Structure 1
Amino acid sequence: MEENKKKITTASGAPVPYYQDSLTAGPRGPILLQDFFLHETLSHFNRERIPERIVHAKGSGAYGTFTVTQDVTKYTRAKFLNEIGKQTRIFIRFSTVGGEKGSADSERDPRGFALKFYTEDGNYDLVGNNTPVFFIKDPRKFVDFIHTQKRDPETNLKSPTMMWDFWSLNPESLHQVTILMSDRGTPFGFRHMHGYGSHTFSMINDKNEKVFVKYHFRTEQGIKNLTGPEADDMRAKDMDYAQRDLFDAIDRGDFPKWKLFIQVMTEEQTKTFKWNPFDLTKVWSQKDYPLLEVGVLELNENPDNYFAHVEQAAFAPAHVVDGISFSPDKMLQGRILSYPDAQRYRLGGNYEQIPVNRCPFMVNNYQRDGQMRVDGNAGNLPNYFPNSFDNNREAREYAEPAMHLDSIIADHYDRNENDDDHYTQPGDLYRLLDMEQKQHLINNIVAAMSGIEGPKKDEISMRQLCHWFRADMNLGLGVAKGLGLSMDTLAEHMPRQ
């Protein structure tokens, strides 16, 4: 039987005669410098942790399929959407946003919803969240916003004061904060929540006609959320319950499914929309822009190694395919730059050669060298273009139509008077909730704002209260009452209009 067992080897393949005993000078002597396998083992151990993602650090993932169920070729020529019944392999990663890898799955936080479609025209990454909007609409603010969700540089503790200070000074965040403070801010695992592309994207058909779209993934498992107290209890019971729930469901054959819908807006309609249609803090009315079914997403395969697949998965909104493109959404434009850059820092310049990120179809370019090049580095082929040796060409037939811009004037500021309306949509959302959900929202806001501390406590609290009142008077009154503020106190501290 012994001869049938596989030999343990070093990373270079040399057999290891003694795995558990270091090479020493005599049975009790010091370890010798020549024990290279000990060096290899300890050195590799020191490098087992790649840099943690700055955001979305803790996540879960799975493989699956996307199947087209409706004809959408009038909108896009994307090959993976070109016929009913067509099936494309996908990988998905769910995540919490603000916490570290060891944080709890039940934290009040948006959830990442990132998809990689392995299409014959290259990999398409749709990197969204479980909310249709975001806290900010300009990438200039992103770093500062994320800093407020991390740890205080003085105490190294999470700081409600930092969060609410930023949100109260940026009323555009109110729509997302309203969602976050509702029960939707603590979903019951990943299977029971919707997913969104969040940004506005574009689709281009075979006639080179362009429309703008928003993506909606609707869970077939039904929406299920935790209340604030239930989320607190879950943190104590099982910090990894969302990961466990997803893995166990797939393992027992209970494959989660989502239906994909799109909203469609023409270029002409973007000019008459009440708000900036590319503003990430706003939604499009489903009454005016109804949901159109596209297909079904099913998760049916657990990765066999978490690190190899989930931790090394790298998503970037810059990865689009023919028939799908970008929009003037400022946040999307910023992410086109920042996400690939983050992946190159975290995983190296050749991160797209890692199996979970590798395009299963042809990849052909002149990128060479760099750390962790594992594909043969294109052998003896030329590393420049044009050249006289290979038979490569530019794929001009894949060019997309030019983007029509309203202005070519460089400007830092929005000019549409409706762009500063940060209150209508959050107010509408509050008024859609039933009485129980409204009370949960108020309770969660009060619990979160009660953590504001320091000499600026009253200033920050009153500034944020102003936003709640402007969204809906009853919402503002409910929060004020929960914070124990009397009408006299409100009258004294509220800013004059």
Structure 2
Amino acid sequence: MTTRLTTSAGAPVSHNDTSKTAGPRGPVMLDDYQLIEKLAHQNRERIPERVVHAKGWGAQGTFTVTHDITQYTCADIFSKVGNSCDILSRWSTVAGELGAADAERDVRGFSVKFYTDEGNWDVVGNNTPVFFIRDGFKFPDFIRTQKRHPKTNLRSPEAMFDFWAAQPESVHQVTILMSDRGIPVNPMHMHGYGSHTYSMWNKNGERVWVKFHFRTQQGIKNHSSEAAETLIGKTRESYQEDLFAAIEARNFPKWELNIQVMPEAKAETVEFNPFDLTKVWPHDQFPLIPVGMLEFNKNPDNYFQIVENAAYSPSNKVPGIGFSPDKMLQARVFAYADAHRYRLGTHYEALPANAPKCPVHHYHKDGAMNFMGPSTGHVDAYYEPNQYAESAKPDVSVAEPPLKISGDADKYVQEDADADYVQPRALYADVMQADERARLHANMAGAMAPCSMPVRERWLAVLGRVHPEYEAGVRAELARLDA
């Protein structure tokens, strides 16, 4: 049976190809409502793109718990091996606009929404375990350096390296970005990281600090700069093509969720700040503990509805999982949800991509596009506290144990500057092989080449503090490019 075309109000439509006119040559009649509706709707089909992570690719799937971690968390999803829930993931580049090429050298976003029985839990991360900065105060300035120059309307390597040279904490992330892992072949062949330090607590109220790791089961694969340049000349949509085709062919990509665990007291004695987003936790001290498997087995039927409307925020957590003193995390808890309110509207979490799959009861009221109806449990309960036994009330049993803090409030507290070079030095000298270091030198020099001499020298000085061979290698490549 043919599906009958209707208006958005449900009335059947008689035609959908020509305008209603006064005579065979026009003019068009103003009462041709469907014409007006189609044109007006088209004018409003676009929404603001994300400020960062605008270009992305998503898929739906399932998470299944494979290992018992109840000693660390009382979160319901982890209460039993075999528990599962639906998930929605979005992978993305950071700096590029909505039409940017997929295979550009950039950090990749790696976000997962877990639709648990106790609400949505979002892990909003990247494909790198660290970030460029450790304090949200610097985030707006950092992002401006990644976007377009206000006069030229072009990307500005000068701005990027000028900022990074003034923030040596960034050298760890920039080293990863300019390494072989700067251009993954596609989302399926990269790891994901929650990056921040989070907390978990068990049924006894005992807290531990944790890091989340998503380990690709497809293996790590990366493009060289030259291969990526050739690929972009052929297609700007390589990630979407690869991901969509794999799922349609039932080659479902998988990642294993692991955690690193640090006892609460240990954070006081480790040789680095465990809440610093520019630092990793050494695996020999804090080994990966397997938790469960993510499988992505469905391409959304409507990409815009599910992937573009997907709104991830670290503020979405469930009982048994909490925050930490990580300063960037604290800033993102506010900034991400606020970005979604701006981009999608007041009730963005009621959209299908974001709506929890468990009962929802809150006292938010009215506002544009409120299509949910009352959700407080009683028609007269539109405020709280109230007298109605059936209405939604807080549950003290899910309260987070108190967070221990110490020290004086001081916005000028600085980290130990020398500590910013220890981990990138180990990455460069102990982890990378000679051929990897050579490619790093070439990639870094190529990115720096358009910069002025003062900015070059400032950044080379940072590299020299990491390792003298790092500076020498990049300096030699710059000289070759300048010749």
Q: Tell me the TM-score normalised to structure 2 length.
A: 0.97
Looking at structure 1, the residues matched to 162 and 247 of structure 2 have their Cα atoms a distance apart, in angstroms, of: 41
Shift of 1:389: 3.0
Which residues of structure 2 form unaligned runs of 5+?
none
Q: Does residue 311 of structure 2 align to residue 321 of structure 1?
A: no
Give the share of equivalent positions with the same residue, in percent. Answer: 51
What letter is aligned with 1:430? Y
Contact 1:90/1:116, CA 8 A, preserved across alignment = yes
The equivalent of 1:472 in structure 2 is 467
Q: Does residue 260 of structure 2 align to residue 259 of structure 1?
A: no
| C-alpha spacing 1:363/1:441, structure 2 compared with 1 (3 Å) | same
Alignment of 1:80-479 (within 5 A): 80-378=77-375, 380-391=379-390, 392-407=392-407, 409-415=408-414, 418=416, 420-431=418-429, 432-452=431-451, 457-479=452-474
Partner of 2:435, secondary structure, is: helix
Shift of 1:17: 1.8
Partner of 1:484, secondary structure, is: helix
Alpha-carbon displacement from aligned partner over 1:185-222 (angstroms, at most 9, x marks no partner): 10010000000000000001000000000111111111
Looking at structure 2, the residues matched to 46 and 468 of structure 1 have their Cα atoms a distance apart, in angstroms, of: 49
Contact 1:63/1:90, CA 8 A, preserved across alignment = yes
Tell me the number of residue pairs that the alignment of Structure 1 and Structure 2 aligns: 478
Which 10-residue stretch deviates more, 472-481 or 419-428? 419-428
Shift of 1:485: 8.2
Looking at structure 2, the residues matched to 84 and 29 of structure 1 have their Cα atoms a distance apart, in angstroms, of: 69
Shift of 1:382: 2.1
What letter is aligned with 1:469? G
Looking at structure 2, the residues matched to 83 and 7 of structure 1 have their Cα atoms a distance apart, in angstroms, of: 48
Alpha-carbon displacement from aligned partner over 1:387-417 (angstroms, at most 9, x marks no partner): 223523210111011111122x22112355x
Contact 1:94/1:114, CA 8 A, preserved across alignment = yes
What letter is aligned with 2:168? P
The equivalent of 2:3 in structure 1 is 6
Looking at structure 2, the residues matched to 355 and 390 of structure 1 have their Cα atoms a distance apart, in angstroms, of: 30
Contact 1:62/1:92, CA 8 A, preserved across alignment = yes
Which 10-residue stretch deviates more, 68-77 or 80-89? 80-89
Partner of 2:188, secondary structure, is: coil
Alpha-carbon displacement from aligned partner over 1:460-488 (angstroms, at most 9, x marks no partner): 000000011111111110001111189xx
Looking at structure 2, the residues matched to 68 and 171 of structure 1 have their Cα atoms a distance apart, in angstroms, of: 39
Moved over 6 A (4+): none
What letter is aligned with 1:397? S
Shift of 1:37: 1.4
Looking at structure 1, the residues matched to 368 and 380 of structure 2 have their Cα atoms a distance apart, in angstroms, of: 19
| C-alpha spacing 1:415/1:102, structure 2 compared with 1 (3 Å) | closer
Looking at structure 1, the residues matched to 97 and 120 of structure 2 have their Cα atoms a distance apart, in angstroms, of: 28
The equivalent of 1:491 in structure 2 is none
Partner of 2:187, secondary structure, is: coil
Partner of 1:422, secondary structure, is: helix
The equivalent of 1:66 in structure 2 is 63
Shift of 1:116: 0.4
Which 10-residue stretch deviates more, 238-247 or 373-382? 373-382
Shift of 1:7: 2.4
Alpha-carbon displacement from aligned partner over 1:261-290 (angstroms, at most 9, x marks no partner): 111111211011112110000011111111
Contact 1:316/1:336, CA 8 A, preserved across alignment = yes
Partner of 1:385, secondary structure, is: coil
Shift of 1:386: 1.6
| C-alpha spacing 1:248/1:485, structure 2 compared with 1 (3 Å) | closer
Shift of 1:420: 4.8
| C-alpha spacing 1:39/1:328, structure 2 compared with 1 (3 Å) | same
Contact 1:172/1:420, CA 8 A, preserved across alignment = no
TM-align CA RMSD: 1.5
Partner of 1:423, secondary structure, is: helix
Alignment of 1:23-62 (within 5 A): 23-62=20-59
What letter is aligned with 1:434? Q
Looking at structure 2, the residues matched to 144 and 9 of structure 1 have their Cα atoms a distance apart, in angstroms, of: 49
Partner of 2:86, secondary structure, is: strand
What letter is aligned with 1:365? H
Alpha-carbon displacement from aligned partner over 1:42-71 (angstroms, at most 9, x marks no partner): 111011111100001011111111111111
Contact 1:275/1:419, CA 8 A, preserved across alignment = no
Q: Tell me the TM-score normalised to structure 1 length.
A: 0.94
